């Protein structure tokens, strides 16, 4: 089947009854504040007293009351007076299969994560297809509820043919828009690299995948630093397939793991047709930054993850013109992109305020604006994925739309809708969410194709089994040299305590 979009009314005839219920082929968001983007000034612009018409999966028109616009008969009218209509938020780095670990990593570190929770641990044998399916599906309800409409998934729960298929099915069942970047890795569980290549080729031919357009396949690979046959196979795969994205973890500094723009440039990948997203880039160099600009490739900054685990925010705040935002391991912290944008805004301000304060000077201006944080959370994510039809509410773009109530106790009194969202909103203010013209949240309630009670029950069953195994597994003893990716010594971090006594207080 071709990848051509089929309007809802055609799909409804073919598919199940539930598809009909989810289809809103023509919807009018009437009379609210709509956040658009002005390409000339490069800033978000608010249109008050305006309406947005969605037909099929796209935005047909944005107009105000003085315009004479013919509304198609049968259009569903949603009154958005007093509300804020925003583009959907974009998460450019996530591992959605890990939901079952929720709260286990509350005080974990990156070094501990590698040996306890990551893809190279017992996860590769313990997580079966049902664990991956229900973990991913339950995990994706959260971003949809929070107005995240597009995700670039670093999909490293690819532990076998069966888990990969379950993973992809969960993503397609969720209704989120996604670049599903299949991770290739040298696992210890017997799923060989050759089998992964065969599995990938097989998934690319998946009929269900090819009959829809929300989910597209990409590639994730973290071992470009190894000049071996696997790396060559990945380079060939990227060059020979028109995949939606290529992504990798890139840290540098004491972490090593220099899957950097410089490395990818040596491999001839930077100037290809595939968008590349380098996650974290905490220790990005000036050379790397120039390569990102030259070839218009992006980094994904995951603010909370980089603080929680200790990746660091060393240099990534200096390349924000080629940055988007991401969440990373959603089992450890908040998963809404607005929360990430707020944290990034305030931590960036602090970083640059210190430059003045450290010299006993007083800054007279603020280093970063709410508009910039909003842009990173929306348009920049779209550009990172080379999807200019996302991240901005404009005629012809995809109808990925989020509506905020403007009158909750926390939002009441706003005049600047961007500041209201970035600095005052929470997930509870999100009234409606639409992805490609279809409802994902309506009147404050998630709209799912599944029976959520059943998904929840299946997920909890799986999570209970998994949490028991992890809680019974001793924590790794991190002594001597951090030998994962670079060769540096472990040290004790300074700890603080909220009560007086002998310290630690865990
Ligand atoms: C919406 O669906 C109806 C039938 O379900 C169809 O008649 C109409 O043309 C569709 N409109 C658009 C804009 O797709
Ligand atoms: C609005 O447009 C319709 C259809 O094009 C036209 O018939 C009508 O006269 C217009 N109304 C005004 C007030 O311009
Ligand atoms: C995290 O907290 C647990 C207790 O909840 C403690 O046993 C463990 O040592 C802590 N781990 C780290 C890495 O601090
Ligand atoms: C996994 O799928 C590939 C591609 O279809 C196939 O070649 C391989 O034999 C499968 N492996 C197993 C263990 O079924
Ligand atoms: C790498 O590929 C070359 C050429 O295809 C082959 O001769 C060699 O055996 C391969 N090496 C490994 C370790 O697989
Ligand atoms: C690659 O895929 C995109 C999106 O599906 C499409 O627009 C583009 O034409 C394709 N490019 C090639 C060279 O096939
Ligand atoms: C990238 O490749 C294109 C097409 O091959 C070429 O026209 C362009 O000059 C290259 N850009 C850079 C910065 O090398
Ligand atoms: C959803 O599943 C639960 C548990 O199996 C069941 O009690 C409930 O009736 C189902 N709801 C719908 C709408 O089918
Ligand atoms: C603190 O450490 C001392 C010496 O090891 C011990 O006697 C005391 O009981 C500890 N106090 C608390 C509150 O744990
Ligand atoms: Zn990650």
Atom in ligand 1 nearest the alpha carbon of residue 60: 13
> First CA to last CA across the chain, in angstroms?
55
Query: Average pLDDT of the chain?
Result: 93
CA distance 127 to 119: 10
Q: Which CATH number is correct for 89-389, 2.40.160.40, 3.90.1300.10, 3.20.20.140, 3.30.1330.10?
A: 3.20.20.140
- The bound ligand whose nearest atom lies closest to the alpha carbon of 293 is 7
Contact (CB, 8 A) for 320 and 291: no
Q: Output the residue whose Cα is nearest ligand 9's atom 10.
A: 502
- Residues in a beta bridge with 433: 402, 441
Domain map (residue ranges) of the chain: 4-82, 89-389
Task: Output the pLDDT for position 504.
Answer: 61
Q: What digits encode the pLDDT tens for the residues 478-497?
A: 998 887 666 799 999 988 88
* The model's pTM: 0.92
Backbone angles phi, psi at 144, to 5 degrees: -65, -40
Pick the atom of ligand 9 nearest to 502's CA.
1
Contact present, 467 and 459 (Cβ < 8 Å): no
Summarize the confidence of residues 451-477 as an average pLDDT: 97
What pairs with residue 194 in β-bridges?
none
With bands split at pLDDT 50, 70 and 90, how would you rate the model's confidence at 167?
Answer: very high
Confidence check: pLDDT of 43 > 80? yes
Pick the ligand that lies closest to the CA of residue 27.
1
Beta bridge pairs of residue 403: 85, 432
**For 85-137, how does the pLDDT look when each residue is reduced to its tens digit (9 = 90+)?**
999 999 999 999 999 999 999 999 999 999 999 999 999 999 999 999 999 99
Pocket of ligand 1 (CB under 6 A): 7, 9, 25-26, 55-56, 72
Q: Which atom of ligand 3 has the smallest separation from the CA of 109?
A: 13
User: What backbone torsions phi and psi does residue 60 show, to the nearest 5 degrees?
Assistant: -85, -35
Burial class (CB in 10 A: 0-12, 13-18, 19+), 80: buried
pLDDT in tens, 190-216: 999 999 999 999 999 999 999 999 999
CA–centroid distance, residue 493 to ligand 3 (Å): 13
Instruction: Give the per-residue pLDDT at 487.
Output: 79
pLDDT in tens, 363-386: 999 999 999 999 999 999 999 999
In the block, residue with structure tokens 């990227």: 238
Give distance in angstroms: CA of 470 to centre of ligand 9: 30
Tokens in use for 474? 């001793």
Lowest mean pLDDT among 12-21, 83-92, 148-157: 12-21
Cα 347 to middle of ligand 4, angstroms: 46
Task: Quote the ligand 1 centre to 6 CA distance (angstroms).
Answer: 11
Q: Is the CB of 161 under 6 A from ligand 4?
A: yes
In whole angstroms, give the CA distance from residue 176 to residue 110: 28
Cα–Cα distance measured from residue 471 to residue 51, given in angstroms and rounded to the nearest whole number: 52
Report the distance separating Cα 368 and Cα 344, nearest Å.
10
Read off the pLDDT band of 499 (50, 70, 90). Answer: confident
If one residue of 63, 67, 68 were mutated to test the ligand 2 pocket, choosing by the most ligand atoms within 8 A of its CB, it would be 68
- Give the CA-trace dihedral at 449, 8, 167, 93, to 10 degrees: -110
Residue nearest to atom 11 of ligand 1 (CA): 25
- Fill in the DSSP letter of residue 283: T
Distance (Å) from CA 250 to ligand 10 centroid: 9
∠117-177-395 over CA atoms, to 5°? 145
State the closest ligand 1 atom to the C-alpha of 55, by its place in the atom list counted from 1: 13
> Could you tell me if the CB of 194 is within 6 A of ligand 4?
no
Q: How far apart are CA 189 and CA 80, in angstroms?
A: 52
Average pLDDT over residues 70-82: 95
Q: What angle do CA 140, 255, 180 make, to 5 degrees?
A: 25
Task: Specify the residue with its C-alpha closest to ligand 8, atom 1.
Answer: 451
Q: Which atom of ligand 1 is nearest to the CA of 7?
A: 14
Q: Which atom of ligand 7 is nearest to the CA of 295?
A: 13
Ligand 7 atom nearest the C-alpha of 271 is 1
**Ligand 3 center to 105 CA (angstroms):** 9
């Amino acid at each position: 089947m071709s990848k051509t979009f089929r309007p809802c009314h055609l799909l409804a005839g073919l598919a199940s009854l539930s598809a009909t219920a989810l289809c809103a082929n023509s919807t009018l968001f009437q009379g609210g504040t709509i956040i658009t983007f002005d390409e000339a000034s490069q800033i978000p612009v608010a249109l008050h007293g305006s309406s947005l018409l969605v037909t099929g999966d796209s935005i047909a028109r944005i107009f105000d009351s003085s315009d004479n616009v013919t509304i198609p008969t049968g259009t569903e009218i949603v009154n958005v007076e007093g509300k804020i209509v925003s583009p959907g938020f974009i998460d450019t780095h996530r591992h959605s299969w890990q939901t079952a670990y929720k709260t286990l990593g509350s005080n974990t570190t990156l070094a501990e994560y590698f040996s306890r929770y990551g893809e190279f641990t017992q996860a590769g044998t313990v997580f079966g297809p049902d664990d991956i399916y229900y973990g991913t599906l339950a995990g994706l309800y959260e971003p949809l509820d929070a107005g995240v409409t597009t995700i670039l998934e670093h999909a490293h729960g690819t532990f076998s043919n069966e888990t990969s298929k379950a993973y992809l099915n969960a993503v397609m069942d969720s209704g989120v828009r996604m670049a599903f970047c299949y991770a290739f890795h040298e696992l210890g569980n017997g799923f060989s690299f050759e089998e992964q290549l065969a599995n990938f080729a097989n998934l690319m031919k998946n009929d269900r995948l090819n009959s829809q357009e929300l989910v597209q396949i990409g590639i994730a690979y973290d071992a470009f630093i190894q000049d071996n046959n696997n790396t060559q196979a990945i380079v060939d795969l990227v060059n020979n397939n028109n995949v939606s994205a290529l992504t990798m973890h890139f840290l540098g500094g004491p972490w090593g793991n220099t899957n950097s723009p410089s490395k990818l440039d040596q491999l001839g990948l930077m100037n290809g047709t595939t968008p590349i997203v380098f996650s974290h880039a905490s220790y990005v160099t000036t050379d790397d930054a120039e390569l990102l600009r030259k070839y218009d490739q992006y980094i994904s900054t995951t603010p909370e993850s980089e603080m929680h685990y200790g990746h660091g925010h060393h240099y990534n705040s200096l390349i924000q013109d080629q940055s988007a935002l991401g969440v990373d391991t959603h089992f450890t912290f908040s998963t809404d992109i607005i929360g990430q944008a707020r944290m990034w805004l305030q931590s960036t301000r602090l970083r640059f305020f210190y430059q003045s304060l450290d010299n006993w000077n007083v800054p007279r201006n603020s280093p970063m604006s709410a508009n910039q944080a909003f842009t990173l959370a929306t348009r920049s994510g779209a550009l990172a994925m080379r999807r200019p039809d996302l991240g901005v509410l404009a005629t012809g773009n995809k109808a990925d739309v989020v509506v905020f109530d403007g009158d909750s106790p926390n939002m009441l009194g706003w005049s600047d809708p961007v500041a209201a969202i970035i600095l005052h909103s929470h997930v509870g203010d999100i009234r409606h969410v639409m992805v490609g013209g279809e409802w994902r949240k309506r009147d404050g309630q998630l709209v799912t194709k599944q029976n959520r009670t059943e998904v929840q029950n299946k997920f909890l069953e799986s999570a209970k089994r998994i949490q028991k195994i992890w809680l019974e597994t001793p924590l790794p003893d991190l002594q001597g040299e951090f030998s994962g990716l670079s060769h540096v010594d472990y040290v004790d971090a300074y700890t603080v305590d909220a009560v007086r006594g002998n310290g630690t207080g865990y």
